[in-house]
Amino acid sequence: MATRSQSAGSACGWSASRPMRLAWRGTELWLLLPLLLLVPLGFVITHVAESQVLEPGPLGLATAYVALVLAAHLVLVLSGHRGDQLLLPLVATIGAIGIVMLNRLPGGTSLLGLNIGLAVTQVAWFGIGLIAMLAVAIGFRDDGLLRHYKYTWAAGGVALLVFTILFGTEINGARLWIYIGPIGFQPGEFIKIVLVIFIAGYLAENRALLAGASYRIGPISVPPLPYLLPMLAIFFGVMLVVAVSNDLGTALLFFGIFLTMLFVATGRRSYVLIGLLLFVTGSYVAYRLFAHVRLRVDVWLDPFADPSGAGYQIVHALYAFGRGGLFGDGLGRGLLPTVPGFFAIQTDFIFTAIAEELGLVGAFALLAFAVFLVFRGLRVAVLARDEFSSLLAVGLTTSIGLQTLIIVAGNAKLIPLTGITFPFLSYGGSSILASFLIIGLLLSISHRAAAEGDQVPR
């Protein structure tokens, strides 16, 4: 019989009777080494292009960023971690592109009377995010805390959403923020993780029943309602609260995650059909009932109808894409940051700013990194050793991929702009921290798969 200390150690992923062994993560290291040159070079190019003077400050910030990433790699090596070796290099590369761009954008935060630039703040959040990632990747090598308390996680997420509605701060028409003193955060970034945990746990427990059909509604077969209703009640409760808060991007993201996980778990195309019908119906009802929804759709359909008012952001974003062309204007030479009254470039329109300066080639290269990150996340799901871990990896990966798709499509005027962030690229502590928690969970799942299957991910 295991002692209490042994059980506690097992839950945290280590055992007192088993010495910790190093894990040589050579692939990860070799993919991180180019950042030693590319990140400082990017900082130098943008700084010189803007100020015509080379100063040591940007180089110091670039060095700090690379040092943080390499330190995270070293911790994974020393802890004997055998998780996927491409996740960290991919997010570090996407993050580096974002920080280089933020280094030349105006704005920042005030701390003790000093103005701290966007890039400095973002590097600090990356450091905090890397610590959170390591804590989850190393400390949560057993999923019992997530699997067995799925209803507790769901209740906590709903409570946090309701608290945001009642006491949150409204910015740009959406009540998304909770402030504790001078520090604000967006609960929606973390609630998506909680929602994925609950759905993965519920689907893993009731997959066979949900995949089977007991009733027919016309040509569509549905599972026993007692098993479907609890998940639907919690999900649509979350969606209702999100809709009331005017957070349309998060509502779309949550819906896409839910539908994807339900289809992956059951393989039933009827669920996708029902989901799409609900989406179309809900979109039409929202357009008819809510003025802010009508405004966003109307601006999306014809931003040039009011180019100096409601369509101002989208019009100038389209101009920026056009100026960028195939190869871009060059780092630090884009005009979008100089457009008077153009706001949220560091969050909602950072992809547009990058496309203007690096062109279509640079934009597609950035998207290639994001697509490959999704591919690696799905690979983690395929190699997972149990159903819950597999569904959890699918949901977490979907959240990153769908969030990227929504913001890029909004920037390119393929869908109405929703205002959510580009993971690891956009400015913002909540987004960075939540995204690193997702990577930590994926590393944890892939470590368990490698340890139990005696295989080292390449």
Q: What tens digit of pLDDT does each residue of 384-418 get?
A: 989 999 999 999 999 999 999 999 999 999 998 88
Q: Which residues contact 263 (CB under 8 A, 6 or more apart)?
A: 269, 271, 272
pTM of the model: 0.89
Task: Return the domain boundaries, the chain.
Answer: 21-139, 144-453
Query: What Rg do the C-alpha atoms of the chain give, in angstroms?
Result: 23
Contact 259, 399 (CB under 8 A): no
* Tens-place pLDDT, residues 146-199: 888 888 988 888 888 788 777 777 766 666 677 776 677 788 889 899 999 999
Residue entry with tokens 């390119």: 412
* Dist. CA 410–CA 414, nearest whole Å: 6
Smallest Cα–Cα separation from 428: which of 344, 337, 304?
344
Mean pLDDT in residue range 298-303: 92
At residue 214 the predicted structure's pLDDT band, cuts being 50, 70 and 90, is: low
5, with CB counted inside 10 A (0-12, 13-18, 19+), is exposed
